[in-house]
Structure 1
């Protein structure tokens, strides 16, 4: 393995605390109702299409046509989507901050995120401006875990995947990253990521 000179972060679930449950816990009375709605109506597969470039307007109308009885909670996904993000994951941001201050590695982000809502994130999370570049799925009209999405990042910023590390909380995206030659860390907690970075000698033992 070549020396790692580049670190690529996922955003939602790694640096930014995103979960639609935060919103739908305000709409439904029980966790079971929230789970049912997210598994059967506003599913992750449905949201994937917005990450890949479909507009929220089109997605909302299409889903309401299929499930008119759920119109209000379906509309809430876009109308109240900021309520799905309570804030940053501070401990992971501290890891990013170390790399930024030390200038030891090139820093990039590769995110599955709607082009419509990503500008809000740029306005609200200063640390997003610490990256040399961010590739957003909704802008590129493709997403993780498809190889072409990773390759956009590699080609645009002259990144050698053999010299890069990728951190993501979604195992499918980790598998996709491995398939294109990246070293990976499957994010579970900030403490676990810190330990794995230390094991790879990318972070000091005392941080």
Structure 2
């Protein structure tokens, strides 16, 4: 049975989707999807998670797509409009685990420039005893080295940790590393999974 829980953040505790913002900027869905698949792509965004600043990361795009200068800058200037609240089932689970005395930690692919603002979105984050943030480590999930950092920093063997993440790639890598895993796809399935692992 695992002894601790390691939480992903985006789309596990808080809902994040660039479409939430860019649907306001591009009323036509096809134009929005074209921008997100050819200009501000997820492959480009990964650099933020690796520690590149918003300002530095957008410069090549501004040079390549000057016609989209305002929309590119919005990735930072309107960043918080990409969020659509917290996930109540996860917040409740974190509180229940805290009450049960289960150690909890965070492991997130995230820019260091927005970390403080994101963890301020929910009091549930105060129940987590520490975080590994990709931008600080210059490593991102699913690189197994970031799982090793989390285990070492938080003082638990891989088999003693249940890792919760919404990405199938991250889950598979964590499982291969030796972590217990729960692929977060349905908030309603979270508490039953925690109960099945003997944590609640």
Fold match by TM threshold 0.5: yes
Match of 2:138 in 1: 141
CA distance in structure 2 between the aligned counterparts of 1:202 and 1:77, rounded to whole angstroms: 38
CA distance in structure 2 between the aligned counterparts of 1:156 and 1:188, rounded to whole angstroms: 27
Match of 1:72 in 2: 70
CA distance in structure 2 between the aligned counterparts of 1:40 and 1:15, rounded to whole angstroms: 28
Match of 1:87 in 2: 85
RMSD (Å) for aligned C-alpha atoms: 1.3
| 1:114 paired to 2:96 | no
How far did residue 202 of structure 1 move? 2.8
Alignment of 1:1-207 (within 5 A): 3-103=1-101, 105-203=102-200
* Residues 121-179 of structure 1: per-residue CA shift (max 9 Å, x gap): 23332221111111111111111110111111111121110111101001111111112
CA distance in structure 2 between the aligned counterparts of 1:200 and 1:35, rounded to whole angstroms: 39
User: Which stretches of structure 1, 4 residues or longer, exceed 4 Å deviation after superposition?
Assistant: none
Alignment gaps of 5+ in structure 2: none
SS at match of 1:124: coil
* Residues 18-43 of structure 1: per-residue CA shift (max 9 Å, x gap): 11111001100122222222111111
CA distance in structure 2 between the aligned counterparts of 1:179 and 1:31, rounded to whole angstroms: 38
